[in-house]
Amino acid sequence: MERALIICLAEPILNPIWVYLGNGEVPSMTTTVIGVSFILLGAITGILFTSKAKKLRKIKNSN
């Protein structure tokens, strides 16, 4: 699950790179940093909640 989340979130990160390679358009640094920060925050949050849910399920099943 975590891998799928990261792969899906990698697409918006790579968009400025593809635009730069295809059109030569350089995105602003502020926009890029803000966008990447949100995407990484979302990925980290998703991974943490998924691992926490797995631990809770493991504890429930052992009881």
CA-based end-to-end distance of the chain: 25
Predicted TM-score (pTM) of the model is: 0.53
Looking at residue 56, its amino acid is L
* Surface-to-core class of residue 49, CB atoms within 10 Å of its CB (0-12 exposed, 13-18 middle, 19+ buried): exposed
pLDDT (0 to 100) of residue 53: 74
pLDDT in tens, the chain (63 residues): 667 767 777 777 778 788 888 888 887 888 778 878 888 888 788 888 887 777 777 777 776
* Surface-to-core class of residue 28, CB atoms within 10 Å of its CB (0-12 exposed, 13-18 middle, 19+ buried): exposed
pLDDT (0 to 100) of residue 40: 82
